[in-house]
């Protein structure tokens, strides 16, 4: 072993900088936070060379006195906290006093600043952590910082940067996050010589926020997002979220803020996905801009050098508040699909479905459905489809149930409906901890490779919580000894269990996604199959159960369980002047 020796200062500082400054976007994030902490109302950002050449940010905040300009670059120098306890009432983004120090260690940085009320501005230039020049500068408002040649002295880090377009997308994301969390601040963002976004400042609560959300996510999103709100136990949630029918293939449209800080937080993410669970198909994701406000004392923001993570004090019911806020907004906006015509060549035109929507002829969302009909979703009460006077007319192809619903036509996909009913009951039982299970008379043997059995046994507890008891039986056989009682009608428990195991094996089943899949899979297998003849009594029971669902209008995979043509619509389709008089 060679002798121990302390690292030279400049090596140590570059290593330390590595924690805070991972890529150009980290520089931008820190500088934006500083500008916001300085009370800036207008911030201009300019990027060149995907942030490798130049990151320039000019703010109109409080500025720095000449003697503070150099101090700001010292390690652990901050104007924001004095003692550890200050973290519990933190109102600024910064507190570690190491961002400028870190950036300066791995770049060539210039700061020009003038303190409010002072005449003189001061300029400091630092290269790789060493003072290069400092002198008086022509007066200008606020602070301007230019970071050039990022990672010029840490080539290893420079090598790890991704393609220009990837780095640029990270940079843009950082600006978006700052813009979303600070609607009262005006931002411009130029990259490679072009203005990419311009956000004008607006104040005034929800309207301002919605306007900002729309200008960040795009006007079309902004118009359609639902607003979810809830206050409970010291926590406040305010979110703009996709309606249940407009989900996306990517997760990229999700922004979560805790006390205005952009964060990645597992609990919040899981809570979001829980709220969408009844509506979400596989690989469909909501757009979400969510602001959570929590008392600073209930929050640990000092978990990670980049402050990307926060921890909540145990007992802070974040999951609950977020799920409830979103679920409520989603359900309120939910309605049953209506049959609407689509345009020529199978291309969806606008929905002219319900009587209400028809007059306005508003284009509304059209789900994929075989031509010549598509399904559209007007807004309204979630249970408008249900009536005590449903009259059962029969079954089509032993697959669809047909009802006279107060003069209109209601079609139900019996398989999809049954799936949804089981799915919701099963979830409710699991969540309330009141899952009923049944012991199998004979254990059900399932053959699997050793690795598969290992993996399943590693998830034994989780499976047990889901109502399945398994045990190893020989090297390559697994015995299922118990299943959820809810599924007593399952035709083929073996196949059901196989699919569940498949699912456990192919996912990190801790994720909400995987659990959703597994549950949907089980419900699907256990559901009545299409092609079952149903008696009138069974058909009615099915509708009743569907009505008791949180959302009975779509199956766990997001397909509709029902279609409707109401009496007005029938009349319209037949070219009648109006629906026939009631009881006439
Ligand atoms: P922190 O933000 O954690 O305090 P930084 O290294 O980011 O640490 O900044 C050090 C100090 O420099 C800040 O506490 C602040 O006083 C000052 N400062 C940095 N940027 C600005 C700015 N744009 N306007 C005014 N003061 C600034
Ligand atoms: Mg800072």
Tell me what pLDDT residue 558 has. Answer: 74
Name the residue with tokens 């209400």: 356
Q: Which residues pair with 255 in a beta bridge?
A: 289
Q: Report pLDDT for 502.
A: 64
User: Contact at 8 Å (CB) between 381 and 343?
Assistant: no
Cα 183 to ligand 1 centre (Å): 21
The DSSP-derived string for 423-476 is HHHHHHHHHHT---EEEEEEEEEEE--HHHHHHHHHTHHHHHHTT-EEEE-SSS
Residue 71 has a pLDDT of: 94
pLDDT score at 371: 28
Residue 51 CA to ligand 1 centre (angstroms): 20
| Residues near ligand 2 ion, CB 5 Å cutoff | 34, 94, 99
Task: For 205-258, write each residue's pLDDT tens digit.
Answer: 888 899 999 888 887 677 789 999 999 989 999 999 999 888 877 777 899 999
Residues 6+ apart with CB under 8 A from 62: 38, 39, 115, 116, 142
Up-side HSE of residue 438: CA atoms within 13 Å toward CB?
12
**Residue 224 corresponds to which tokens in the numbers above?**
């359609």
Q: Is the bond preceding residue 27 a cis peptide, omega within 30 degrees?
A: no
**Measured distance CA(119)–CA(551) in Å, rounded:** 64
Point out the ligand nearest to the CA of residue 74. Answer: 1
Nearest Cα neighbor of 58 from 42, 39, 37 is 42
Contact 538, 529 (CB under 8 A): no
Q: By three-state DSSP, how is residue 262 classified?
A: strand
Tokens 């009505």 identify what position? 547
Ligand nearest to the CA of 77: 1
C-alpha distance across the termini of the chain, in Å = 100
Residue 377 pLDDT = 37
Ligand of minimum distance to the alpha carbon of 102: 1
Tens digit of pLDDT at every position of the chain (584 positions): 788 988 888 888 888 888 889 999 999 999 999 999 999 999 999 999 999 999 999 999 999 999 999 999 998 889 888 888 888 888 899 888 899 999 999 999 999 999 998 889 999 999 999 999 999 999 889 999 999 999 999 988 888 898 888 899 889 999 999 999 999 999 999 999 989 889 999 887 888 899 999 888 887 677 789 999 999 989 999 999 999 888 877 777 899 999 999 999 999 999 999 899 888 777 778 989 999 999 988 888 888 888 888 999 888 889 999 999 999 999 888 766 555 544 333 333 333 333 333 334 333 333 333 323 333 333 334 455 677 778 999 999 888 999 998 888 889 999 888 888 888 888 888 778 788 888 888 888 877 777 767 767 777 887 787 788 988 887 777 888 988 887 766 555 666 666 666 666 555 445 555 566 666 666 666 665 556 788 899 999 999 998 888 888 888 777 788 888 888 888 888 888 888 887 64
Choose among 431, 580, 448, 403: nearest CA to 512.
431
Residues 141 and 113: beta-carbon distance below 8 Å? no
Helices (H), 466-511: 493-506
Instruction: Report the SS3 class of residue 222.
Output: helix
Task: Report yes or no: 392 and 539 within 8 Å, Cβ to Cβ.
Answer: yes
CA–CA distance, 82 with 194 (Å, rounded to integer): 41
Distance CA 407, CA 566 (A): 7
What share of residues in the chain are helix, strand, coil (percent, to 5)?
Answer: 35, 25, 40
DSSP codes joined into one string, 191-248: ETTEEEEEE----SHHHHHHHHHHHHH-HHHHHH-EEEEEEETTEEEEEEE--TT--B
What pLDDT, on the 0 to 100 scale, is given for residue 56? 98
Q: Kindly give the distance from the C-alpha atom of residue 295 to the centroid of ligand 2, in angstroms, as a whole number.
A: 21
* Cα-only R_g, the chain: 30
Among 32, 68, 100, residue to substitute to test ligand 1 (most atoms within 8 Å of Cβ): 100
pTM of the model: 0.68
CB distance 305 to ligand 1 below 6 Å:
no
pLDDT at 171: 93
Residue 326 three-state SS: helix
Ligand 1 closest atom vs CA 95 = 3
Predicted local distance difference test score (pLDDT) of residue 207? 86
Check residue 165 and give its pLDDT: 84
Atom index in ligand 1 nearest the CA of residue 101 equals 6
Report the separation in Å between the CA atom of 34 and the middle of ligand 1, taken as the mean of its atom positions: 5
Instruction: Give the relative orientation of helices 318-332 and 266-276 as an angle to the nearest 10 degrees.
Output: 30
Residue 49, C-beta contacts closer than 8 angstroms, at least 6 positions apart: 164, 192
Please give the number of the atom of ligand 1 that sits closest to the Cα of 102. Answer: 6
Ligand 1 closest atom vs CA 142: 24
Q: Please enumerate in sequence order all residues whose Cβ is within 8 A of that of 423, keeping only pairs 6 or more positions apart, or say none.
A: 519, 520, 523, 555, 556
pLDDT of residue 108: 98
Asked if residue 98 has its Cβ within 6 Å of ligand 1, the reply is yes
**CA–CA gap between residue 302 and residue 276 (Å, rounded):** 31
Residue 542, SS3 per DSSP: helix
Task: Determine phi and psi for 492, rounding to 5 degrees.
Answer: -135, 80
User: Which of 19, 21, 36, 37 maximizes ligand 1 atoms within 8 Å of its Cβ, making it the mutation to test the pocket?
Assistant: 37
């Amino acid at each position: 072993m060679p002798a121990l020796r302390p690292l030279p200062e400049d090596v140590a500082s570059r290593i330390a900088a590595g924690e805070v400054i991972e890529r150009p976007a980290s520089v931008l994030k820190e500088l934006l936070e500083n500008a916001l902490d300085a009370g800036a109302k207008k911030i201009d950002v300019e990027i060149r060379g995907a942030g490798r050449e130049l990151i320039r940010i000019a703010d109109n905040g409080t500025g720095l006195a000449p003697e503070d300009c150099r101090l700001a670059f010292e390690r652990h120098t901050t104007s924001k906290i004095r003692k550890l306890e200050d973290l519990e009432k933190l109102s600024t983004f910064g507190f570690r006093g190491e961002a400028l120090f870190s950036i300066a260690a791995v770049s060539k940085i210039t700061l020009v600043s003038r303190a409010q009320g002072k005449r003189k501005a001061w300029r400091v230039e630092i290269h790789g952590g060493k003072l290069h020049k400092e002198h008086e500068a022509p007066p200008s408002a606020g602070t301007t910082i230019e970071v050039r040649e990022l990672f010029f002295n840490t080539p290893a880090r420079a090598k790890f940067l991704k393609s220009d377009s990837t780095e640029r997308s990270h940079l843009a994301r950082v600006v978006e996050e700052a813009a979303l969390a600070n609607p009262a601040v005006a931002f411009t963002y130029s990259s490679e010589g072009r203005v990419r976004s311009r956000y004008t400042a607006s104040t005034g609560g929800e309207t301002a926020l919605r306007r900002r959300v729309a200008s960040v996510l795009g006007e079309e999103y902004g118009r359609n997002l639902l607003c979810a709100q809830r206050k409970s136990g010291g926590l406040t949630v305010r979110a703009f979220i996709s309606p249940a029918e407009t989900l996306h293939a990517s997760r990229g449209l999700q922004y979560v803020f805790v006390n205005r800080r952009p964060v990645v937080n597992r609990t919040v993410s899981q809570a979001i996905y829980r709220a969408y669970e009844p509506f979400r198909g596989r690989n469909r994701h909501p757009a979400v801009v969510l602001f959570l406000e929590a008392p600073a004392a209930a929050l640990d923001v000092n978990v990670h050098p980049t402050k990307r993570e926060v921890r909540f004090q145990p007992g802070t019911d974040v999951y609950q508040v977020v799920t409830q806020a979103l679920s409520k907004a989603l359900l309120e906006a939910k309605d049953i699909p209506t049959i609407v015509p689509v345009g020529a060549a199978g291309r969806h035109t606008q929905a002219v479905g319900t009587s209400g929507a028809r007059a306005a002829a508003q284009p509304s969302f059209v789900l994929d459905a075989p031509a010549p009909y598509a399904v559209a979703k007007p807004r309204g009460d979630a249970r408008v489809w249900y009536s005590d006077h449903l009259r059962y007319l029969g079954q089509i192809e032993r697959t669809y149930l047909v009802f006279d619903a107060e003069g209109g036509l209601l079609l139900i996909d019996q398989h999809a409906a049954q799936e949804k009913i089981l799915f919701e009951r099963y979830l409710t039982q699991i969540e309330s901890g009141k899952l009923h299970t049944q012991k199998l008379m004979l254990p059900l043997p399932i053959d699997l490779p050793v690795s598969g059995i290992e993996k399943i046994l590693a998830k034994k507890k989780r499976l047990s919580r889901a109502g399945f008891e398994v045990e190893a039986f020989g090297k390559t056989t697994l015995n299922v000894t118990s299943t959820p009682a809810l599924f007593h009608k399952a035709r083929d428990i073996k196949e059901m269990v196989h699919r569940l195991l498949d699912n456990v094996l192919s996912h990190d089943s801790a994720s909400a996604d995987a659990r959703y899949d597994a549950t949907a899979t089980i419900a699907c297998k256990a559901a009545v199959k299409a092609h079952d003849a149903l008696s009138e009594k069974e058909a009615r029971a099915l509708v009743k159960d569907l009505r008791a669902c949180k959302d009975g209008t779509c199956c766990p995979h997001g397909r509709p369980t029902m279609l409707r043509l109401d009496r007005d619509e029938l009349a319209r389709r037949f070219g009648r002047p109006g629906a026939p008089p009631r009881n006439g």
